Amino acid sequence: MCRFDHESSRRCEVFSGLFICRYVVNVGACLHERRSCRSVSGLPCTMRVCTRRRSRMFRLWLLIVFLSLHLLVVSLVLSIYHTSCELHSNPDIQTSISFSVQTTSTSTSKMATLGSVTQEVEMDSAADAFAKLEALFSHPLYNLPTPPVSDGDWLLKVRTKKKEEEHSTQQWLSANEDGYDPIVWNASAETHPPWLRFHLGISRWQMYQHKDPNLSALTQQLASHRIVSAVQKSGGTQLKLVMSFPNYGQALFKPMKQERHEETNVNLYYFSDFERHNAEIAAFHLDRILGFRRVPPVVGRLIHVIKEIKDITTDHKLATTFFTSPVGNACFYGQCSYYCSTEHAICGRPLKIEGSMAAMLPDLSLASRRSWRSPWRRSYSRTKLALWETESNYCDAVKKIPPYDRGTRLVDLIDLSILDFLMSNMDRHHYETFEKFGNSTFLIHLDNGRAFGRHSKDEPSILAPLVQCCRVRRSTLLRLRLLSLPSYRLSDVMRASLSQDPLVAVAPLLTEPHLSALDRRLETVIQTIQDCLQQHQHHSDVIYDDITDYLGA
């Protein structure tokens, strides 16, 4: 057997305060007996010694790592303890941390409070605007006593059905009754659907009454009633659809073509501009606020392109124009004189589109209408001017031509020019009246789609009838002055009135710059009338007094 040298030296070292003994083995004696020295496992003596040394070195390194980790933990504990002591001993640091937390909490609280205050301010502002609108419609100028309407002054009236007329009356029913409600109407107004009450309420002097109880029901029907048919309306330069309801009512649908905030390109001529669905809606509200009541009721609505147009249309030409855009939107373009192509398609987002729904007037077979060419019609030419744009005494010639030589036709037309100027509508080439009433009736304010195209510029030429003729209704002037007062400001009452439309849930129908433009243009109209009063010695030459019994200024 191989023996270790008895004189092997033991050497001790101190590491981190602990004694670790390491043996130094003299293996010289074993080298002489290498061949004979064998272990039980058969390994040479030298390898046994090396294995023992490696084992001891491995344990030594494990001990070193353990001690190092121990010292590191102790150092961290001492560091944390020292920092904690400093925090307790330094009140300024503690106060700073506390103040920082309080500041963050206060800032969050202030933001929440500010948001709440802003919301409350907006609610107060809306409530204030509604109060102004209610006060305006309650003003004596909007509630003047009117004489009873005679039978001859109603556009339509219900006839008692006689036996001999029963067959001809039944012929009025649609040939395709799929989806329509059964008719249960009689002479009683309570049984009539809202659209029929609207038709029966049209008189010689107005489209509907000031406080018409049927108006709310009619607009509700236009906004939500199920659509059973959709066909393209013939004529016109741009796409329009006639929508039918189960109760046989109908509405004219004008789809959205551009965003509300988009202004008309300055290089476009007035006759090249798109029609706007929101302009049709806003024109109805403005016409009502001015006290004219000559625009048929209009309301906004979201329409499903597939379910409420494509799937129910019987218009084969319209049906062939539907397609799906590259991004998956349902589109169609119809057939018309202008802007009916794939480049100008009407597209959903992805399936629904906005549009205006205007109550249809009675069928022409029941109430025929006459179209009049406006004396102040534009040339619709890029190079030529109209006669009224070059002749300074043009109005004198107009006053000699029937029907402008008598009655209220001239002041009716000037009312229309004031409405058009306020909403910046240059596209008034014709107007219509109901033939039944002859020349003594109101003008129907139709087709307002090219209004509210530009808020940044006013077009003074629209007021040419007022400027050149210096004639205006007294009732119109008093209402304009009323709307210029802070308590009845035009922009405020328009905002309140438009906020009742369903499409406000998507976005305001008129942007704030357009509402501000209304106030600015109103001042221009009032100043123009004031200039006329200064030019004429007698106010009666300017003011047509249509409310002689009203004593207000």
Rounded to whole angstroms, the Cα distance separating 459 from 315 reads: 40
Rounded to whole angstroms, the Cα distance separating 222 from 228 reads: 13
Longest dimension (CA), the chain: 149
Rounded to whole angstroms, the Cα distance separating 414 from 426 reads: 14
470 with 491, same domain?
A: yes
Residue 457 backbone class (left: φ over 0; alpha: ψ -120 to 50; beta: rest): beta
pLDDT tens across 455-473, in order? 999 999 999 999 999 999 9
422 with 326, same domain?
A: no
What residues act catalytically?
427
Asked if residue 325 is part of any domain, the answer here is yes
Tokens encoding 463 = 């007021």
3-state secondary structure of 330: strand
Q: Are 221 and 249 in contact (CB under 8 A)?
A: yes
> Which of 309, 332, 359 is at the close of a domain?
359
Provide the terminal-to-terminal Cα distance of the chain, rounded to the nearest Å.
Answer: 138
448 with 535, same domain?
A: yes
> Which of 341, 359, 377 is at the close of a domain?
359
Q: Are 494 and 509 in contact (CB under 8 A)?
A: no
For tokens 């009539």, the residue is: 192
* Residue 508: pLDDT over 70: yes
> Which of 302, 327, 359 is at the close of a domain?
359
Asked if residue 168 is part of any domain, the answer here is yes
For residue 495, count other CB atoms closer than 10 A to its CB.
24
Tokens encoding 190 = 């309570």
476 with 503, same domain?
A: yes
For tokens 């998507």, the residue is: 506
312 with 446, same domain?
A: no
Q: Structural domain tally of the chain?
A: 3
For residue 489, count other CB atoms closer than 10 A to its CB.
19
pLDDT tens across 405-453, in order? 999 999 999 999 999 999 999 999 999 999 999 999 999 999 999 999 9
525 with 378, same domain?
A: yes
Asked if residue 454 is part of any domain, the answer here is yes
**What percentage of the chain carries pLDDT values higher than 70?**
76
pLDDT score of 35:
41
Rounded to whole angstroms, the Cα distance separating 297 from 444 reads: 12
pLDDT tens across 474-505, in order? 999 999 999 999 999 999 999 999 999 999 99
Rounded to whole angstroms, the Cα distance separating 110 from 117 reads: 10
Burial of 485 (0-12, 13-18, 19+ CB in 10 A): exposed
pLDDT score of 168:
45
pLDDT tens across 139-188, in order? 999 999 888 899 999 999 887 665 445 444 444 444 456 688 888 787 77
- Residues with Cβ within 8 Å of 151's Cβ and at least 6 positions away in sequence, in order, are 157
Q: Beta strand pairing status for 543-544 and 472-473?
A: parallel
pLDDT tens across 316-339, in order? 999 999 999 999 999 999 988 778
Asked if residue 459 is part of any domain, the answer here is yes
Cis amide prior to 375 (ω within 30 degrees): no
Rounded to whole angstroms, the Cα distance separating 146 from 152 reads: 16
Residue 372 to residues 284, 439, 530, Cα–Cα distance (Å) = 21, 11, 30
pLDDT tens across 509-531, in order? 999 999 999 999 999 999 999 99
161 with 64, same domain?
A: no
Asked if residue 305 is part of any domain, the answer here is yes
For tokens 């009450």, the residue is: 197
Q: At what angle do helices 490-498 and 512-535 cross, to 10 degrees?
A: 140
Residues composing the chain: 553
For residue 385, count other CB atoms closer than 10 A to its CB.
10
* Residue 24: pLDDT over 80: no
3-state secondary structure of 148: coil
Asked if residue 193 is part of any domain, the answer here is yes
| H or E element in which residue 431 lies | strand 430-434
For tokens 């706007």, the residue is: 276
Q: Which DSSP state fits 171?
A: T
Residue 450's domain comprises: 130-145+366-544
Asked if residue 119 is part of any domain, the answer here is yes
Q: Are 429 and 377 in contact (CB under 8 A)?
A: yes
Q: Which residues pair with 203 in a beta bridge?
A: 154
pLDDT score of 336:
85
Asked if residue 1 is part of any domain, the answer here is no
Rounded to whole angstroms, the Cα distance separating 161 from 21 reads: 129
User: What mean pLDDT do residues 105-132 have?
Assistant: 62
Rg over CA atoms, the chain:
44
Q: Beta strand pairing status for 298-304 and 323-324?
A: unpaired
171 with 299, same domain?
A: yes
122 or 529, higher pLDDT: 529
421 with 525, same domain?
A: yes
Task: Tell me the residue type at 88.
Answer: H
pLDDT score of 337:
79
Rounded to whole angstroms, the Cα distance separating 548 from 542 reads: 15
Sign of the dihedral through C-alpha 5, 9, 10, 16: negative
| H or E element in which residue 13 lies | strand 10-15
215 with 345, same domain?
A: yes
Q: Return mean pLDDT, the chain.
A: 82
Tokens encoding 18 = 């602990």
345 with 483, same domain?
A: no
Residue 250 to residues 76, 107, 238, Cα–Cα distance (Å) = 84, 56, 19
353 with 378, same domain?
A: no
User: What mean pLDDT do residues 110-128 have?
Assistant: 60
Buried b / exposed e across 127-163, counting CB within 10 Å, b at 16+?
eebbebbeebbebebbeeeeeeeeeeeebeeeeeeee
pLDDT tens across 237-293, in order? 789 999 999 999 999 999 999 888 888 777 776 666 788 999 999 999 999 999 999
Task: Please name which of 274, 421, 428, 441 lies closest in space to residue 367, comparing C-alpha atoms.
Answer: 441
Secondary structure of the chain: what % helix, strand, coil (to 5)? 45, 10, 45
For tokens 């008093």, the residue is: 478
